[in-house]
A and B are shown apart, each in its own frame.
Chain A
Amino acid sequence: MQDLAGVDVQKLKIARPAAYRQIFASILLFVVLAFIIHAFWVGAIEWHYVSDYLFSPPILKGVRGTILMTVCAMFIGVLLGTIVAMMRMSANSALRSAAIAYVWLFRGTPALLQLLLWFNLALIFPTISFFGLFSVNTVDVMTPFVAALLGLGIQQGAYTAEVVRSGILSVDRGQMEAAQSIGMTKIRAMLTIILPQAMRVIVPPIGNETIGMVKLTSLASVIQYSEVLRSVGDVYYANSRVIELLIVAGIWYMVIVTVLSIGQSYIEKYFSKGWGHSPQTRKALSVDSAEAVGTT
């Protein structure tokens, strides 16, 4: 027991232990980093190839291809995923079974396999006909773009369906009841009340999946779709600067992913409306209700 009687508590200071471990870890990491940078510095990398090709037209064409495919495939994925999630939660057992079968089928096989199946569809269906109205050659329709879009978009839908479903489940049951009590049908309540709230839970994993999709589009290079990896490949087959051009591709993937991550944080902010953030942001977001008060 210490005698506290004579201690002036207000003058006491807390002496925290020095952060030896942090200092040690920092030094260690710095050394490792220095070794890696040194290795790349002395390695036989011709860095000027990287800067020469970073903005060259064929590479930029590939970048556009990657972005286009990511956007389109995610659009199809989110659309299908939302529809399938709502089917999965429907009272109609036929719709429920169809949704379960879809997720099972397209989550159960590799994306690359699905791409190859779509691309080679002409082998079993040489022509596609629409109810005998008109028919087209499958080879003409199933371009690398279409095959990649179908393959990536449809398998993405299977993953997104589960993400959307978990978002819908996260919304309190009372919300559906309140929406119904003011005369909304189930569909309308789902679209205007439940889904906007579910978005708060859905957006982070969808952002994650979109970033995954940026890199998954590289699979489309296998079926001759011109995206970043394929366009750098075309170049290094000609000039043999393999690592330099792969670094170019890596830089572009990093750039796209970084931009998407920033975009995601803005979208998250938008959908967190009503979940307690600063009034300033909220004012900026809900212009119409602010106007409503202004008019009176």
Chain B
Amino acid sequence: MSPILQAIHVEKYFGAFRALNDVSLSVSRGEVVCIIGPSGSGKSTLLRCISQLESIDGGLIAVDDEISGFRLRGESLFCLNDVQIAKQRQRVGMVFQRFNLFPHRSALQNLMEGPVRVQKRPVEECRREALELLRRVGLAEKADAYPNELSGGQQQRVAIARALAMHPQILLFDEPTSALDPELVGEVLSVMKELAQSGMTMVVVTHEIAFCREVADRVVFMDGGAIIAAGSPNDMIVHPQNHRVANFISAVL
């Protein structure tokens, strides 16, 4: 079976700054890939390109063998329009560092917004499923709460449930625990661990080395906009071969 996500020779520039430098990465169905690396190394940019919040300047990204953001005709890549890109984005869920819940909607409404308004599924079905998802992240009793009445950890769990409500084929996490107080990190990580065990395909940008070691199938190290090394958690974290990886691991542990 072909990989669910393929990034091939991806290039991204912000003005003259080269944010992604020939990045290639493929992720199989059900695989959990953790991306680590120093800040400014292009980890988040890679995720934002995969979720099409940024457009790429070279290379190709494909989800489930469908090219993201472009249509290939002959030798040319034609840009898709906003409606087509929005449709493609439904396949890729995104969990943000700052949660980005809709503050004017209750937790339940946050989950139902996409399925009801975008996917046009029946309201009752969406409501049942949303409540089930809230139960899954341990927040069934908070369905009616507004984001400002929830702790950071609870907000992030709602955000994960919101992404799941769209039935994405792949879920991206952009430093999901970096904005949390230390005592709230655990509850979010345990939800993510449960997701990984249930067979969800996940790409996680994180600084939680212990989480990578325990949950990841593969760890990718990025620096300067490029992938420097990749391998099993054991090869990357416990016995890193590459000296830059080793330096980074010893600095954050």
Contact = CB atoms under 8 A, between A and B. Distances in A.
Contacts of A296: 131
A182 B127 contact: no
Interface in B95-142: 96, 98, 100-106, 108-109, 113-114, 117-119, 127, 131
A182 to B, nearest CB: 3
Nearest to A189: B86
Contacts of B93: 181
B108 A185 contact: no
Contacts of B96: 174, 177-178, 181
A183 B114 contact: yes
B143 A289 contact: yes
B70 interface: no
A290 B166 CA distance: 23
A273 interface: yes
Contacts of B127: 292, 295
Contacts of A289: 106, 108-109, 143-144
A277 to B, nearest CB: 10
B113 A192 contact: yes
Interface in B65-110: 82-83, 86-87, 89-90, 92-94, 96, 98, 100-106, 108-109
B117 A188 contact: yes
Given A182-B90, A274-B146, A177 B100 contact: yes
Task: Give the dominant DSSP class at A's interface.
Answer: helix
A175 B102 contact: yes
B86 A292 contact: no
A132 B109 CA distance: 51
A293 B51 CA distance: 32
A184 interface: yes
A196 interface: yes
A184 B116 CA distance: 11
Contact of A273 (B90, B104, B113): B104
Contacts of B162: 182
B106 A286 contact: yes
Interface in B161-191: 162-163, 165-166
B228 interface: no
Given A183-B118, A184-B86, A192-B117, A178 B101 contact: yes
Interface string A177-216: 1111111111110001100110000000000000000000
B98 A174 contact: yes
A121 B113 CA distance: 48
B89 A292 contact: no
B108 A182 contact: no
Interface string A152-195: 00000000000000000000101101111111111110001100
Nearest to A199: B104
A275 interface: yes
B61 to A, nearest CB: 15
Nearest to A290: B144
B152 interface: no
B87 A178 contact: no
Interface of B: 51-53, 82-83, 86-87, 89-90, 92-94, 96, 98, 100-106, 108-109, 113-114, 117-119, 127, 131, 143-144, 146-149, 159, 162-163, 165-166
15 contacts: A174-B96, A177-B53, A177-B94, A178-B102, A181-B93, A182-B118, A183-B90, A184-B114, A184-B117, A197-B102, A271-B104, A274-B104, A282-B146, A286-B144, A292-B144
